[in-house]
Chain A
Amino acid sequence: MTDFLGNLALGFSVAFSFNTLFLCLIGCLVGTLVGVLPGVGPIATIAMLLPLTFKFDPVGALIMLAGIYYGAQYGGSTTAILVNIPGEATAVVTTLDGHQMARKGRAGAALGIAAIGSFIAGTFATLLIAALGAPLSGLALKFGPAEYFSLMVMGLVFATVLARGSILKAVAMILVGLLLSTVGQDLETGAERLTFGWQEISDGVDFAVLAMGVFGFAEVMRNLENPEARDVVRGAIGSLLPNREEFRRSIAPIARGTLIGSILGILPGNGALLGPFASYTVEKKLAKDPSIFGKGAIEGVAGPESANNAGAQTSFIPLLTLGIPPNAVMALMVGAMTIHGIIPGPQVMTKSPNLFWGMVASMWIGNLMLLIINLPLVGLWVKLLKVPYRLMFPAIMIFCCIGIYSINNNPVEVMLTAFFGLVGYGFYKMGFEPAPLLLGFVLGKLMEENLRRAMIISRGDMLTFVERPLSAALLAVAAILIIIALMPAMNKKRDVVFTE
Chain B
Amino acid sequence: MKKGILGAVAGLVISAGVATAQGYPTKPINLIVPFAAGGPTDVTARILAEPMGKALGQNVLVENVAGAAGQTASTRVAQAAPDGYTIIMGHMGTHAASVGLNPSLRYDPITSFQPIGLGNASPIVVVTKKDFPAADLKELIAHIQKNPEKVTQAHAGVGSVSHTTCVLFNAQAKLGKVNAAAYRGTGPALNDLMGGQVDFMCDQLTNLAQQINAGAIKGYAVASAARAPSIANVPTTTEAGLPGFRIESWNGLFAPKGTPPDVIAKLVAALDKALEDETTKKRFAELGSITPTKEERKPEGLAAIVKRDIELLTPTLKASGVTISN
Contact = CB atoms under 8 A, between A and B. Distances in A.
Contact of B194 (A141, A332, A348): A141
B322 A190 contact: yes
A426 B239 CA distance: 65
A392 interface: no
A318 B190 CA distance: 11
Contact of A325 (B75, B187, B197): B187
B210 A144 contact: no
B62 A51 contact: yes
A195 B326 contact: yes
B21 to A, nearest CB: 26
Grouping DSSP codes into helix (H, G, I), strand (E, B) and loop, the B interface class, with mixed when no group exceeds half, is: mixed
Nearest to B37: A47
A50 B158 contact: no
Interface in B273-326: 282-283, 286-288, 322-326
Contacts of A46: 37
B213 interface: yes
Interface string A262-280: 0000001100000000000
Contact of A334 (B38, B62, B65, B323): B38
Contacts of A300: none
Q: What interface size band does chain B fall in?
A: 35 or more
B38, B66, B209, B282: most-surrounded residue (chain A CB, <10 A): B38
B191 A203 contact: no
Interface stretch (B39-47, B110-118, B241-249): B39-47
A388 B40 CA distance: 47
B48 to A, nearest CB: 11
Given A457-B197, A457-B198, A335 B38 contact: yes
Given A346-B210, A452-B181, 13 more contacts: A51-B49, A51-B50, A144-B192, A190-B159, A334-B38, A335-B38, A341-B282, A341-B286, A343-B209, A345-B213, A346-B211, A408-B65, A449-B183
Interface residues of A, number: 59
A43, A200, A269, A348: most-surrounded residue (chain B CB, <10 A): A269
Interface string A316-340: 0010001111101001111110110
A343 to B, nearest CB: 5
B37 A50 contact: yes
A202 B326 contact: yes
Interface stretch (A160-168, A181-189, A478-486): A181-189
A207 B168 CA distance: 34
Interchain residue pairs A-B with the least CB separation, the first 3: A345-B210, A335-B38, A141-B195
Interface in B169-223: 179-185, 187-188, 190-192, 194-198, 206, 209-211, 213-214, 216
Given A50-B46, A203-B68, A322-B216, A141 B38 contact: no
A450 to B, nearest CB: 10
A437 to B, nearest CB: 22
A19 interface: no
A140 B37 contact: no
Contacts, number: 173
Given A331-B185, A410-B67, A185 B324 contact: yes
Given A185-B326, A199-B326, A331 B39 contact: yes
A185 B50 contact: no
Nearest to B230: A343
Contacts of B38: 47, 325, 331-336
A305 B64 CA distance: 31
Contacts of A333: 38
B36 to A, nearest CB: 7
A459 B149 contact: yes
Contacts of A335: 37-39, 42-43, 46
B190, B196, B210: most-surrounded residue (chain A CB, <10 A): B210
Contact of B46 (A51, A195, A325, A328): A51
Contact of B68 (A47, A199, A343): A199
Nearest to B322: A190
A187 B43 contact: no
B43 A268 contact: no
Interface string A343-360: 111111000000000000
Contacts of A47: 37-38, 64
A485 to B, nearest CB: 32
29 contacts: A140-B195, A144-B192, A145-B192, A185-B158, A187-B157, A199-B71, A203-B67, A268-B188, A268-B191, A269-B191, A323-B190, A324-B188, A324-B194, A325-B187, A326-B187, A332-B37, A334-B38, A335-B43, A338-B43, A338-B206, A338-B286, A338-B287, A341-B283, A343-B209, A345-B209, A408-B65, A410-B65, A453-B181, A459-B179
